[in-house]
């Protein structure tokens, strides 16, 4: 394996529910210690983090974004549209991770070029399993674009 294979995967979680943040952190801690999870709680902070603006000037470019749709200040659909329309950000895979099972949310997310749409299970163990599977898929199966 090359040295690059040992680099941790940088994941940005955009989630305003503290319980979901905690469960995601637990799933990452139990599953893959090398991967780093960064958390912001609204759409404005997500875009600032991704663009390394304001208080996020030293933020690392994430390899993967886990994005909730229902966010304060700037909704997840707007954030997704901004990411995928920005030439500097559009190559970052975005997984919509939300409670919505609405067909229009699923369709709209894919129209905005989400890489995947996952409905959060309400059961703790199933939620942990889903987060682990997402992490596993993007760490072991998918070849991610190089960081810019």
pLDDT at 27 over 60: yes
pLDDT at 121 over 60: yes
Domains of the chain (ranges plus CATH)? 9-139 (3.40.50.2300)
Between 31 and 110, name the one with better pLDDT: 110
Give the predicted TM-score (pTM) of the model: 0.90
pLDDT at 12 over 60: yes
The DSSP line for 5-67 is GGSPPEEEEE---HHHHHHHHHHHHHH-SSSEEEEE-SHHHHHHHHHT-GGGTTPPPPSEEEE
Nearest to 127 by CA among 106, 105, 104, 98: 98
Question: How far apart, in whole angstroms, are the C-alpha atoms of residue 104 and residue 96?
Answer: 13
State the DSSP code for 121. Answer: P
Give the model's pLDDT for residue 95: 96
pLDDT at 32 over 90: no
Mean pLDDT within 78-100? 95
């Amino acid at each position: 394996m090359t040295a690059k294979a040992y680099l941790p995967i940088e994941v940005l979680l955009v989630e305003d529910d503290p319980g979901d943040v905690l469960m995601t952190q637990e799933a990452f801690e139990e599953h893959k210690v090398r991967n780093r999870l960064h958390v912001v709680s609204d759409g404005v902070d997500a875009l600032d983090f991704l663009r390394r603006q304001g208080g996020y000037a030293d933020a690392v470019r994430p390899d993967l974004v886990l994005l909730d749709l229902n966010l304060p200040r700037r909704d997840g659909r707007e954030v997704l549209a901004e990411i995928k329309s920005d030439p500097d950000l559009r190559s970052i895979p975005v997984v919509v991770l939300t409670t919505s099972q609405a067909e229009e949310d699923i369709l709209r997310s894919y129209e905005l070029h989400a890489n995947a749409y996952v409905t959060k299970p309400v059961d703790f163990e199933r939620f942990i399993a889903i987060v682990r599977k997402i992490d596993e898929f993007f760490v072991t199966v998918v070849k991610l674009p190089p960081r810019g």
